[in-house]
């Protein structure tokens, strides 16, 4: 089933005329006519308007034709879809080094009024973390 056929299904399942569908999603009636006659392909803006007007419609089904648990359109029925929790980035493991390596960094005595501004830790995988002193 093509995107245009799925749009036709949305119109039929919602029991709207093409004109009423155009009004509901906020596009010109001629846009619907051109899309249904396959003169024009639906734009991303058009698809987003359809998805916004029909909150029960699964975007994967409309865009890709992937079957979802609910593909039948029920007019004006709000449905909350569970979203996957955004994966948290893994925090780098802080391991104690087996031995400390001294670099040729000159030692400097801290003078009165001086504070640590920033500390950067370099990890063996090439990443680093920078900690800034916030006053």
Angle between helices 18-25 and 44-53 (to 10 degrees): 90
Q: Which CATH class is domain 3-64?
A: mainly alpha
Q: How many CB atoms lie within 10 A of CB 11?
A: 20
Per-residue pLDDT, averaged over 45-71, amounts to: 83
Q: Is the pLDDT at 133 greater than 70, yes or no?
A: yes
What pLDDT, on a 0 to 100 scale, did the predictor assign at position 65?
A: 85
**What is the structure's pLDDT at 82?**
44
Q: Taking the domains of the chain in order of start, what are their residue ranges? A: 3-64
What would the mean pLDDT of 16-36 be, rounded to a whole number? Answer: 92
Mean pLDDT, residues 99-123 taken together: 71
pTM of the model: 0.49
- Which residues, at least 6 apart from 115, have a Cβ–Cβ distance to it below 8 Å? 133
Q: What is the mean pLDDT of the chain?
A: 77
pLDDT of residue 43 exceeding 80, the answer is: yes
pLDDT band at 93 (very low <50, low <70, confident <90, very high): low
pLDDT at residue 27 is higher than 50 = yes
């Amino acid at each position: 089933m093509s995107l245009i056929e799925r749009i036709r299904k949305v119109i039929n399942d919602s029991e709207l005329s093409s004109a009423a569908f155009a009004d509901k999603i906020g596009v010109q009636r001629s846009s619907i006519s051109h899309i249904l006659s396959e003169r024009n392909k639906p734009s991303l803006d058009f698809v987003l308007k359809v998805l916004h007007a029909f909150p029960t419609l699964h975007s994967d089904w409309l865009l890709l034709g992937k079957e979802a648990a609910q593909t039948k359109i029920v007019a004006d029925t709000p449905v909350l879809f569970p979203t996957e929790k955004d994966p948290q980035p893994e925090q780098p493991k802080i391991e104690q080094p087996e031995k400390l390596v001294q670099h040729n960094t000159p030692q400097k005595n801290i003078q009165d009024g001086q504070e640590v501004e920033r500390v950067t830790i370099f990890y063996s995988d090439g990443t680093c973390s920078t900690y800034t002193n916030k006053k």
